Structure 1
Amino acid sequence: MTQCPGATPYPIPPAVQEAYGPADLGSMPLFAGGFINFGYWQGIDLDQPLTEHDRISSELAMYRHVLAALAPTEGLRALEVGCGRGIGSAVALEEYGFAHVTGMDIHPQQLERAQQANSGLLARHPEQLRFAHGAAESMPFGDGEFDRVHSVEAAQHFRDLDAFARETARVLRPGGRAAVASFFVPDADPARAARLAELLDSFATGLDVAHTIPLLTDSLERAGLTGIRVTPIGTSVWTGWDRWLAKTWKPDTWPRNFLRAYGEGILDYFTVTAERPEK
């Protein structure tokens, strides 16, 4: 793990510390295969009983969906913000032809798991893959160090989207591109946060933050990024995620309320892309 001298330490929110520390969210069967995302279920038959293979395929498909939005990728340098166990960073290196991939996470225990999970790949490609300790709001990298920045289902944990956007713009080279995929409130209605806390424990405890899409796009614009494009992908996420949850969670338990929140129009899943101008 690396940290640039002088990088500003950033506190780990207590709920994030717990979920990704001793509790190790990624070890739960709900997140099979080492990935930690709700899945991109397009092309998976949801009318048949879902298997662990289906679940892993959905998580891998989410990464492929995001990484495809960064094309071209061949020979470029990429940063994943909130890499968790680093399985997605490995996918970026092995499937998308990046010259170098850095996976960054705020949680030291997640980085230890990333080193272990990818020990073979790190041994084979010591100059092409690294894992670094840092926060989305205070990245330990030089200006313009990366051609591409991506984040998969981590932005709901970030406490300061303005700081994340500024740091993303800073570490991107001119002409570089960023892609963020996660679940957000689709509008600026201030009542949404309270309703999400009623429905979903992850919002009530502070693990997830009810960020809005307008807040994210405004933050990216203020940071000087352009060409911002917002793509809702909830139709490929929520039904599949709920059917996978149904294997272990009853309809009246809080995780099943993600689909309900989507149905009420207070939460959706999005891919957001932006670019740093050439000049």
Structure 2
Amino acid sequence: MAGESRQQSDPVVRPPVWETYGPADLSAVPVFSGGFINFGYWKGVDLEGPLTEADRIRSEQDLYRHVLDAAGPHKGQVMEVGCGLGVGCALALEEYRPARITGVDIHPQQLRRARDVNAPLLEARPDRLRFALGAAESLPFGDGEFDCLYSVEAAQHFPDLFAFAREAARVLRPGGRVAVASFFTVDGTPAQADRLAGLLDSYANGLDIARPVSQLADALTGSGLVDVRTRSIGPQVWPGWDRWLSRLWEPGTWPRNFLAAWEERVLDYYVVTATRP
């Protein structure tokens, strides 16, 4: 029934995800700032001059804005899947003004941090913001409960994109929109998984999963969604991300290889959108 939450047991978290977003607390790593955990959308930042922490935070906020613009409209019930510390939810609430925004994350430690970080907003607007424990492949909400669902740089961790797509289609109302921003392998490039594991520790240790962007597009289409569109935003992500990494990491160290993977056309950053008919 629409509006009825599903009763579920706590979701199972893959070990690399548990460690990275729990005890290791990726949000505290210096390359991430302001509570965000994303590579950033750098179009509005001058990459020729010295970069500041304010530039970094702006890039992270602008990635959210770019995704939210693609996901619109936002006047009703909105969900973020993989919300982390919830600062993107707060940005969406304050700048896009949906009726309510729900942040979902699979990691209980992240949700505790999200509630702490957003405590004043939760106290002031309990009817407008909430956080819930749940997996992307089994969302704890009723059918047709949301007008908009978006996800920013979390889908590279989802173990089953087809299950995620089915859940997105299920919880959206007719006319509802989904927008996913993340990095995927480039269609048509051979042996991407092996190459990425050799370049990037996050693929070698299983934190990130190598899959072509067409797999997500096919999953959304197969779940009955329409107007499925895939767009690369790599030029607005990778050079700025590498420029920021250069403050802390030397050339040849594995984090700097994200740019190399993009330049080799093995990996790219995409925004994928779709609509429930």
Q: TM-score range by the shorter chain?
A: over 0.9
Q: Once the 2 structures are TM-superposed, how far is the Cα of residue 189 of structure 1 from its aligned partner?
A: 4.2
Look up the equivalent residue of 1:32 and give its one-letter code.
Answer: S
Q: Distance in 2 between matches of 1:174 and 1:5?
A: 20
For each residue in 1:242-269, what CA deviation from the matched residue of structure 2 results, as whole angstroms up to 9, or x when unmatched? 0100000010110000000000000000
Identity %: 61
Q: Which residue of the partner structure matches residue 164 of structure 1?
A: 164
Look up the equivalent residue of 1:236 and give its one-letter code.
Answer: Q
Look up the equivalent residue of 1:58 and give its one-letter code.
Answer: S
Q: Which residue of the partner structure matches residue 144 of structure 1?
A: 144
Retained in 2: the 8 A contact 1:225–1:274?
Answer: yes
Corresponding residue SS for 1:248: coil
- Asked if residue 242 in structure 1 is aligned to residue 249 in structure 2, the reply is no
Q: Which residue of the partner structure matches residue 43 of structure 1?
A: 44
Query: What is the TM-score when the length of structure 2 is the normalising length?
Result: 0.97
Q: Which residue of the partner structure matches residue 22 of structure 1?
A: 23
Q: Call closer, same or farther: CA 1:5–1:76 in 2, change over 3 Å.
A: closer
Q: Distance in 2 between matches of 1:52 and 1:238?
A: 17
Q: Distance in 1 between matches of 2:240 and 2:265?
A: 17
Aligned length: 274
Q: Once the 2 structures are TM-superposed, how far is the Cα of residue 214 of structure 1 from its aligned partner?
A: 1.2
Q: Distance in 1 between matches of 2:250 and 2:45?
A: 22
Corresponding residue SS for 1:78: strand
Q: Distance in 1 between matches of 2:177 and 2:105?
A: 20
Corresponding residue SS for 1:33: coil
Q: Distance in 1 between matches of 2:45 and 2:33?
A: 16
Q: Once the 2 structures are TM-superposed, how far is the Cα of residue 188 of structure 1 from its aligned partner?
A: 4.8
Q: Which residue of the partner structure matches residue 213 of structure 1?
A: 213
Retained in 1: the 8 A contact 2:42–2:236?
Answer: yes
Unaligned runs of 5+ in 2: none
Q: Distance in 2 between matches of 1:261 and 1:10?
A: 32
Retained in 2: the 8 A contact 1:8–1:138?
Answer: no
Corresponding residue SS for 1:34: coil
Q: Distance in 1 between matches of 2:190 and 2:223?
A: 23
Q: Which residue of the partner structure matches residue 180 of structure 1?
A: 180
Q: Distance in 1 between matches of 2:129 and 2:58?
A: 23
Retained in 1: the 8 A contact 2:10–2:133?
Answer: no
Corresponding residue SS for 1:135: coil
- List, as ranges, runs of 4+ consecutive aligned residues in structure 1 with deviation greater than 3 Å: none
Retained in 2: the 8 A contact 1:66–1:152?
Answer: yes
Q: Which residue of the partner structure matches residue 35 of structure 2?
A: 34
Q: Once the 2 structures are TM-superposed, how far is the Cα of residue 72 of structure 1 from its aligned partner?
A: 2.3
Corresponding residue SS for 1:7: coil
Q: Which residue of the partner structure matches residue 129 of structure 2?
A: 129
Corresponding residue SS for 1:39: coil
Look up the equivalent residue of 1:221 and give its one-letter code.
Answer: T
Look up the equivalent residue of 1:14 and give its one-letter code.
Answer: P
Q: Distance in 1 between matches of 2:211 and 2:76?
A: 30
Q: Once the 2 structures are TM-superposed, how far is the Cα of residue 49 of structure 1 from its aligned partner?
A: 0.9
Q: Once the 2 structures are TM-superposed, how far is the Cα of residue 10 of structure 1 from its aligned partner?
A: 3.0
Retained in 1: the 8 A contact 2:40–2:59?
Answer: yes
Retained in 1: the 8 A contact 2:73–2:148?
Answer: no
Corresponding residue SS for 1:31: coil
Q: Distance in 2 between matches of 1:257 and 1:32?
A: 21
What is the RMSD computed on CA atoms of the aligned residues?
1.2
1:1-279 paired onto structure 2 within 5 Å: 4-7=5-8, 9-73=10-74, 75-189=75-189, 191-277=191-277
Retained in 1: the 8 A contact 2:72–2:148?
Answer: no
Q: Distance in 1 between matches of 2:172 and 2:10?
A: 21
Q: Once the 2 structures are TM-superposed, how far is the Cα of residue 43 of structure 1 from its aligned partner?
A: 1.6
For each residue in 1:204-239, what CA deviation from the matched residue of structure 2 results, as whole angstroms up to 9, or x when unmatched? 000000121111111111111110111100000000
Q: Once the 2 structures are TM-superposed, how far is the Cα of residue 28 of structure 1 from its aligned partner?
A: 1.1
Query: What is the TM-score when the length of structure 1 is the normalising length?
Result: 0.96
Q: Distance in 1 between matches of 2:134 and 2:156?
A: 16
Unaligned runs of 5+ in 1: none
Q: Distance in 2 between matches of 1:189 and 1:240?
A: 24
Retained in 1: the 8 A contact 2:72–2:177?
Answer: no
Q: Once the 2 structures are TM-superposed, how far is the Cα of residue 29 of structure 1 from its aligned partner?
A: 1.3
